[in-house]
Amino acid sequence: MHELGILVHMAKTLKSLAEENQLTEIGGITLEVGEVSGIVPEYMTDCWAYYRKKEDIMKNSELKIEITPAVTICENCGKTYQTVKYGKQCPHCESYDTYLLEGNGCNIKEIEAC
């Protein structure tokens, strides 16, 4: 379960931002999670419910997760397509000369602070 490791790193970032901006409480976080990132949103939510209690600044915060769709581009025809639906092979020209453009990352999109 790498979700806990991601969460620990995210908490360090949040605490640092809170110190820099003299925040006393974080009310919520919106996290963008790529569709093919390997992160299981339910695991992340469970880890958040546990871990937020360890940090006073986040103890009442809510985690919102937004899924970012995976998009692949074909180097032969230049068209993009849905990665999960079609996989590695381009549905337009059937080439395998493709690469993932987006949808495998994890990003803090928004922080609600008090």
Q: Residues marked as binding for Zn(2+)? A: 74, 77, 90, 93
Taking CA atoms, 45 is separated from 38, 50, 52, 87, in Å, by 14, 9, 10, 28
Residues belonging to the binding site for Ni(2+) are 2
CA end-to-end distance (rounded Å), the chain: 31
Residues belonging to the binding site are 2, 74, 77, 90, 93
